[in-house]
Amino acid sequence: MRIGRISFISRVMLALLITAEMAAGGQAMAAEPEAKVIPAGSFMRGSGRAQREAAYHMDEVAYGHSRTRAQQWYENEFPYGPEETGGYVILRHLVTNREYQAFVMDTGHPSPDVTSDTWQGYGLIHPFSRTRRHAWQGQQYPQGRADHPVVLVSVADAEAYAQWLSEKTGQPWRLPVEAEWERAARGDDGRWFPWGNEFDAVRLNSHDRGPFDTLPVGHFVEGQSPFGVMDMAGQVFEWTATAAGPGRRIVKGGSWDDKGCGICRAAARHSRPEDLKHILVGFRLVRDLE
């Protein structure tokens, strides 16, 4: 509870500082959001056959069918082995509605939303009516969702927020590349999930225990990664800077809609069109370590 309370206060203070800066004409630098340092070094990336088979089995038990196995969802994962990253700093929490609102109000950037025609064009399973609980009214996020992760944002939206935050803090924020995201999620020892190799539904927001919706960030303290980064399994998928073919990006982490949860493993890879505005996709940012 103490960790969660401190995180909440940090996010509130950031929003207040940015609002005060806006009122003063934008002259002062805003406080940097809460983040964790990942030093330069090596980590164990990807998965082996045993892990992939275990992931398929988890899905089969949860869903009662073998669709992910038949469609070979996990066959594009990197072979298990060491990978190097430089040093970087990563936001401890997903960007929230409260934080994104400061950006929207300061810049006039379009608020998170999607039209019925656009949503139907995506061909997704979720009905359009389900997007309404996440959609903003003007520059106001949905009531009671200040500290939920912002969703219905495209790659361009996330990158615009990163540019704005960079200007406000004087630090060069950006979307993480896939390797940076994966290392922050699983640590250096190659664990499957942020907490270890065994799936534990009480440590994340997935469909296994509900509520089949987003939750305030930082709720699952026991699910944090070895580096202390929160919500890197379940909650919402996260955009990365890594391309997955023309006009597509890798997303990582799984979501509140998933159960099993093979897709929630740090090694799992999934791609989406970069202009997609989905209720299952949000983002966090990184910057290079000075």
Spell out the domain ranges in the chain.
2-288
CATH topology assigned to domain 2-288: paralog of FGE (formylglycine-generating enzyme) (3.90.1580)
pLDDT band at 290 (very low <50, low <70, confident <90, very high): confident
Given this model, what pLDDT does residue 21 score? Answer: 42
Given this model, what pLDDT does residue 32 score? Answer: 80
Give the residue-averaged pLDDT of 245-270. Answer: 96
Give the residue-averaged pLDDT of 142-170. Answer: 98
Given this model, what pLDDT does residue 125 score? Answer: 95
The residue ranking higher by pLDDT, 12 or 46, is 46
Q: Coil, strand, or helix at residue 234?
A: strand
The predicted model scores a pTM of 0.90
Give the residue-averaged pLDDT of 244-272. Answer: 97
- By the 8 A CB rule, do 280 and 274 touch? no
Q: Which tens digits make up the pLDDT trace of 103-113? A: 999 999 999 99
Lowest average pLDDT, out of 10-14, 257-261, 267-271, goes to: 10-14
**pLDDT of 281 strictly over 90:** yes
**Separation in Å, CA 164 to CA 8, 28, 116, 199, 284:** 22, 14, 29, 37, 14
Q: Which tens digits make up the pLDDT trace of 203-240? A: 999 999 989 999 999 999 999 999 999 999 999 999 99
Q: Which tens digits make up the pLDDT trace of 168-187? A: 999 999 999 999 999 999 99
Give the residue-averaged pLDDT of 128-151. Answer: 98
Q: Which tens digits make up the pLDDT trace of 7-32? A: 444 444 444 444 444 434 444 466 78
Q: What are phi and psi of 240, to 5 degrees?
A: -120, 175
Q: Coil, strand, or helix at residue 243?
A: strand
**Separation in Å, CA 108 to CA 103, 149, 213, 234:** 8, 20, 27, 30
Lowest average pLDDT, out of 1-5, 155-159, 191-195, goes to: 1-5
**Strand-strand pairing, 281-282 and 237-243:** parallel
* Residue type at position 82: P
